[in-house]
Structure 1
Amino acid sequence: MVDVRPLAMGEQIAHQLRREILTGAVEDGLHLAEDALAARFDVSRGPVRDALRQLEIEGLVENRRKRLYARPLDMEELDELYALRGALEGLAIRLAVERAEPQEWDAVQRVVDRMRTAAETGDGEAFATADMDFHGSFYALARNRRLLEAWKPYHRTFSVLVQMSDTRDLAAATEDHQEFLDVVRTGDVSAAVARLDQHLQSAKGRLRDVLGAA
């Protein structure tokens, strides 16, 4: 669910650079010099180094002879990301359906209710946050620490991608998540995983359109 802890400076810088790289505000191949970034964010080089190290792990920064360069996603990498997410989240759903108590799904319903409120007020950022909390709930309810740790690095990337790809029809997107949750709560694992695949393919398609237009 929502992590209310304030982000460390390195994480804040990573979040800003991640958004800029994924949206194309930072050009492909741009040299990301620690000194220049430290001056830009008015910090020492330590938080910048932490941020760049995290982005390198996520594949958004490339190390070439000890110099770091921005590396936006191409379409093939986008397909790889969604394939990996489908595998991880499919397992999370299977375990969550098996292990979660019926009342625990009520908390997930409250996340969908947050999405509905965000849709009614037109708050796209709040909607995107709730969207990630919705999917994150599967990992939490799966009660598998290693699975959760495997998802964490990609959660950061997808938190930006979700904002880029979410449809402007937030009401329809809310109902899509409601129907998704309804399927999960039936306990039919095969139907839930199939619904996940449909959900992710649709999101990936919208994102491909966004990236293609950019």
Structure 2
Amino acid sequence: MDAPMRTLRPLGLGEQISQRLRIDIISGAIPDGTHLAEDNIAARFDVSRGPVRDALRQLESEGLVENRRKRLFVSFLGLPDIEELYSLRENLESMALRLAVERASAKGWDAVQRLVDTMAVAADAGDHERFDEADMEFHTSFYRLSGHRRLAEAWRPYQRTFEVLLEMSNTPDMHAAVVDHQEFLDIVRTGDADAAVRRLHNHLLKAKRHIRDVIERQADLDESVPVDVS
């Protein structure tokens, strides 16, 4: 069933449409190989074709959509793509983390600590949205603190995809996740890059297993009705 979409604002239509389509593609509501017809998508969201083109261009840059002879099709195989995304992220983030450990100042890590503190406040309030935002910013901070502009740019196209995966996974125990992130940051601040990267590996492995379980359960239930955008 197509989830309700918030009322579209005059600005940022393309970004809003790309986010809704991104969720539908990753969740399987729009299956792999589906033709994404601009006219149908424009009708679905009651917008002109301009913001639809912007949205599809963005999804193509993320690898969720591919161009076949000037027609765009969904390109997301579920679990195999999840494995690929996480392997790519681990390699990018490990490099960013090593550089950040080497280059970042204590002030830079203090800013990351404030993100963990924000996660703790969100956990106490049961605020999943705020928690997820701080969680994603925690990891994105490694790229910023790495001082490597092109590495940060390499991560940027996949950040929205991982935001959707994080939202779908719906962290079952936010307080435990806060402890996990605090311990992670404590290791990072020791300056032991090898230990930090090992912790990152275990951290991402746990996250990948959780989202894989979520996707497998969703597939087993098979209660969703594919969205018609062909």
- Please identify runs of 4+ aligned residues in structure 1 that moved more than 6 A: none
User: Is residue 2:67 matched to residue 1:63?
Assistant: yes
Contact 1:108 1:137 in 2 (8 A): yes
Q: 1 CA distance for matches of 2:11 and 2:33? A: 27
Q: 1 CA distance for matches of 2:80 and 2:94? A: 21
Contact 1:60 1:73 in 2 (8 A): no
SS in structure 2 at match of 1:103 = helix
1:3 paired residue number: none
TM-score normalised by L of structure 2: 0.86
Contact 2:92 2:151 in 1 (8 A): yes
2:35 paired residue number: 31
Give percent identity, aligned residues only: 63
1:93 paired residue number: 97
Q: 2 CA distance for matches of 1:185 and 1:105? A: 7
Contact 2:26 2:76 in 1 (8 A): yes
SS in structure 2 at match of 1:95 = helix
Q: 2 CA distance for matches of 1:83 and 1:29? A: 23
1:154 paired residue number: 158
Q: 1 CA distance for matches of 2:82 and 2:22? A: 15
2:143 paired residue number: 139
Q: 2 CA distance for matches of 1:177 and 1:192? A: 12
* CA displacement 1:39-86 (0-9 Å, x = unmatched): 222222111011111112212123333322223342222111111101
User: Is residue 2:2 matched to residue 1:20?
Assistant: no
Higher-RCO chain (CA-CA 8 Å, sequence separation at least 6):
2
SS in structure 2 at match of 1:31 = coil
Residue 10 of structure 1, aligned match among 11, 14, 18: 14
Q: Which residue identity lines up with residue 176 of structure 2 in the other structure?
A: A
User: Is residue 2:28 matched to residue 1:54?
Assistant: no
Residue 186 of structure 1, aligned match among 187, 190, 195: 190
Rate the CA distance shift 1:104–1:134 in 2: closer, same or farther, 3 A. same
1:7 offset after TM fit, Å?
7.0
Q: 2 CA distance for matches of 1:96 and 1:176? A: 19
* CA displacement 1:164-191 (0-9 Å, x = unmatched): 2242111101111111111101100000
1:38 offset after TM fit, Å?
1.3
2:127 paired residue number: 123
CA RMSD of aligned residues (A): 1.6
* CA displacement 1:99-134 (0-9 Å, x = unmatched): 111122111011011111111111111111111000
The gaps in structure 1 that reach 5 residues or longer are 1-5
The gaps in structure 2 that reach 5 residues or longer are 1-9, 219-230
Q: Which residue identity lines up with residue 72 of structure 1 in the other structure?
A: F
Q: 1 CA distance for matches of 2:52 and 2:175? A: 39
Q: 2 CA distance for matches of 1:88 and 1:116? A: 27
Residue 86 of structure 2, aligned match among 82, 107, 111: 82
Q: 2 CA distance for matches of 1:79 and 1:30? A: 21
Contact 1:94 1:189 in 2 (8 A): yes
1:203 offset after TM fit, Å?
0.2
Q: 1 CA distance for matches of 2:101 and 2:45? A: 44
1:112 paired residue number: 116
Q: 1 CA distance for matches of 2:94 and 2:11? A: 29
TM-score normalised by L of structure 1: 0.92
